[in-house]
Structure 1
Amino acid sequence: MVSESGWWTSRKQGLTVLAGVAISIAVLGWAAYRIDLRGALHRLRGFGGAWILPMLLFYLSSFLVRGVRWCLLLQPVGTVPWSTSTGVIFSGYMANNLLPLRLGEIVRALVLTRVTSVRMDGTLSTIVLERVLDGLVLVGMIAFVLPWTDVVPGKEGVVAYTGAVSAVVFAGALLLVIAVRLFPRVVLRVSSQTLEWAPVVKKERGVGMVRSVLRGLETLTMDRRLLAVLFLSVAVWALEGGMFWVGLQAFALDADVAIALLTLAFVNLSILIPSAPGYVGVFQGATILAFAAFGLPEETALSYAVVVHALQYVSATAIGIGVLAKYGISLAALRQESISHEHSK
């Protein structure tokens, strides 16, 4: 039998999946209505296969730097080889591409705990901090590059607004992480009182979750390592921005590196919106909006988004599946374990 809380959680997860799929379908429908699909197909046919290799080199190189960064974050938790951390990151991206509910981060933590001795709570805490830093770097790209870029009058709002909202969200998340790290007892007490006033989950379960996060964050130290992590975060997105820039050259677009970085930042902040697995639809819609803001052809935007997204999706998924095969881990088992972890929240 399924408990009442388990039934409600399963229903909530099902509604979340349906909402994401509905958003993806709606965005794809909007794109099909807005854009000349024949023109987009014509532009897609003009993409040369010779551009695939340099685009993939930039994209996959960013994972190598991600692996170094995660090793640094994991140092207080346990020593993890760079090759292991990089491979496990690929498994997380693969899971986000194939599974609903954005389970990639949980899958990533589960895989690492299976192949190393690192604890789950410590691993999840490093991932949280990593994601917060990623968001702040992307917001910083918009803040520093947008004023120096030629934007179509009246169209700059969508990019600037996304950057402003994201800045508030990620800055707030960073402050929360710092507060949890510096004042754990206060956070635990406030969490317990809040669950009594607003019991979104059972108090015992909620307090247990908070304790788990606190244990993980206890291992994180505010030292020079974080400066190195921040530098590596910038390097990660600079390399992925290189993929976006090469893609612009592949479609013979008169656009500089600044536009590539802004498109990268806008697209990656936009895919935080719920969507189908692999961010299908939202990725394409965000690219179309970004291109429109910079006065670039929307038909080309759709073709460009299809190519960039396909290269990212196929490469990360294939390597992630290979990593699981290497470790003898079943994706189906990870999916079930990840969903069970979500049930426990």
Structure 2
Amino acid sequence: MKATQMARITLGLVFASFFIWLIAKQVNFAELSSVLANTNPEWIFAALVAFCCGYACRIARWRKMLLQDSPTLSFKNCAGPLLASFAVNNVLPFRSGDVMRAFAFNRQLKTSSGIVLASLFVERLLDLLMVLLMLGAALTMFHLDFERFAGVGSMMLISLSLLIILVLLFPRLFTPLIRVLNRIIIKLSPGFGYKLAVEINKGLNTLLHLAKKGTMLKLILWSCAAWLSEGMLFWCVAMALLPAIELTQAAWLALPVGTLATLIPGTPGYIGTFDYFTIKAMTSLGNTTAASTAYALLVHALLWLPPTLTGGLYLLANNIQKPRIKNEYDT
């Protein structure tokens, strides 16, 4: 293992341990057990339904991105690779699931790695845009100060959102920079560089196609549906913990805050980082620490366990191994 990879793993473990320590330090475990024991299973089932709806929207969105290059691509053929990638990301470091999705399923998806990588890029931008919009809406709804709560001013959130929209709608503005970087790679490694250029061209064409108003609007609508479904999961878990959770609407603040916390270096599955900031969001609106901790643990389990199990079973059934990227460009 390279020194940089070891450093990243170590840093992630340090952050995760720190946030787990902060959680353990402030929670009363007897109260936590009592809250969990009174969980309403019917609302947990409703949360699982919301989870399934959210992932169905994500699969449909990804399929829409790939249809230009693979017109006959089915929903079923997209579902397995997407769930598998989430499963691998949940248990292995370095976004290994994204690497797998880009290189291991090309035959099934009937497309190339360059196009899949472009779709992953757009997917991440759309998700980040939705989370930023939901954070802004939640902070406004609860009359919270942007800078005090989020650590950044409202102008930072607005500017970042506008930049994402600019990239999504006008990717042609950034193509000169990408071309320059590719030319540098060709000079350093001609064989790899020229093959990479082919994939870059495919990826850029995909970005330009997705940037069309009608196509991007559909992707944004699928993104809204996916994140609203995930928001319903957060809210259903809050309802499952009544009356311990006093303000169930706090779930709509916990979603963007907990999700953005996953950008902090951590372990696969975001153990500690996601939980601590989800708890912070819930307690900031008057919920008790014990109830907020129980809430964070349940939400985390519902977000982690279903895709890890279903994606893992898909990988086992199809005997797919993590690909080595270098094989894609071997001379």
TM normalised by structure 2 equals 0.86
- Provide the secondary structure at the position in 2 that maps to 1:245: helix
Structure 1 match to 2:69: 77
Unaligned runs of 5+ in 1: 1-6
Unaligned runs of 5+ in 2: none
- Provide the secondary structure at the position in 2 that maps to 1:219: helix
Per-residue CA distance 1:136-180 (angstroms, 9 max, x = gap): 0111112223212255xx797223639865665565455456565
Call closer, same or farther: CA 1:16–1:246 in 2, change over 3 Å: same
- Provide the secondary structure at the position in 1 that maps to 2:152: helix
Structure 2 match to 1:218: 205
Call closer, same or farther: CA 1:274–1:343 in 2, change over 3 Å: farther
Are the counterparts in 1 of residues 136 and 157 from structure 2 also a CA contact under 8 Å?
Answer: no
Are the counterparts in 1 of residues 196 and 329 from structure 2 also a CA contact under 8 Å?
Answer: no
Are the counterparts in 2 of residues 181 and 214 from structure 1 also a CA contact under 8 Å?
Answer: no
- Provide the secondary structure at the position in 2 that maps to 1:83: helix
Distance 1:160 1:118 in 2: 41
Structure 2 match to 1:3: none
Shift of 1:190: 4.0
Per-residue CA distance 1:191-213 (angstroms, 9 max, x = gap): 368x69xxxx9576678757633
Moved more, 83-92 or 215-224: 215-224
Distance 1:266 1:325 in 2: 34
Aligned length: 322
Alignment of 1:284 with 2:271, yes or no, is: no
Shift of 1:251: 1.1
Call closer, same or farther: CA 1:49–1:248 in 2, change over 3 Å: same
Shift of 1:284: 0.7
Distance 2:264 2:198 in 1: 28
Structure 2 match to 1:4: none
Distance 1:102 1:183 in 2: 24
Alignment of 1:115 with 2:105, yes or no, is: no
Q: What letter is aligned with 2:94?
A: L
Structure 2 match to 1:127: 120
Call closer, same or farther: CA 1:342–1:11 in 2, change over 3 Å: farther
Call closer, same or farther: CA 1:146–1:342 in 2, change over 3 Å: farther
Distance 2:113 2:53 in 1: 27
Call closer, same or farther: CA 1:109–1:249 in 2, change over 3 Å: same
Distance 1:163 1:86 in 2: 37
Once the two structures are superposed, the pairs formed by residues 208-247 of structure 1 within 5 Å of their partners are 212-220=199-207, 221=209, 222-247=212-237
Once the two structures are superposed, the pairs formed by residues 58-73 of structure 1 within 5 Å of their partners are 58-73=50-65
Are the counterparts in 2 of residues 179 and 187 from structure 1 also a CA contact under 8 Å?
Answer: no
Structure 1 match to 2:46: 54
Structure 1 match to 2:140: 147
Distance 2:146 2:16 in 1: 23
Moved more, 72-81 or 164-173: 164-173
Distance 1:202 1:173 in 2: 31
Q: What letter is aligned with 1:235?
A: A
Equivalent position to 2:34, from 14, 18, 42: 42
Structure 2 match to 1:161: 152
Structure 1 match to 2:317: 326
Moved more, 259-268 or 66-75: 259-268
Distance 1:168 1:13 in 2: 32
Alignment of 1:261 with 2:252, yes or no, is: yes
Are the counterparts in 1 of residues 146 and 152 from structure 2 also a CA contact under 8 Å?
Answer: no
Moved more, 50-59 or 202-211: 202-211
Shift of 1:131: 1.0
Distance 1:157 1:342 in 2: 47
Are the counterparts in 1 of residues 247 and 286 from structure 2 also a CA contact under 8 Å?
Answer: no
Call closer, same or farther: CA 1:55–1:82 in 2, change over 3 Å: same
Q: What letter is aligned with 1:281?
A: G
Structure 2 match to 1:19: 11
Call closer, same or farther: CA 1:189–1:62 in 2, change over 3 Å: closer
Distance 1:342 1:163 in 2: 43
Per-residue CA distance 1:65-116 (angstroms, 9 max, x = gap): 1111111111122132111212221111101111111222222223431423
Are the counterparts in 1 of residues 62 and 78 from structure 2 also a CA contact under 8 Å?
Answer: yes
Identity %: 24
TM normalised by structure 1 equals 0.82
Distance 1:15 1:341 in 2: 26
Equivalent position to 2:302, from 304, 311, 321: 311
- Provide the secondary structure at the position in 2 that maps to 1:94: helix
Distance 1:162 1:343 in 2: 44
Distance 2:169 2:328 in 1: 24
Distance 1:293 1:210 in 2: 49
Q: What letter is aligned with 2:224?
A: V
RMSD over aligned Cα atoms = 3.0
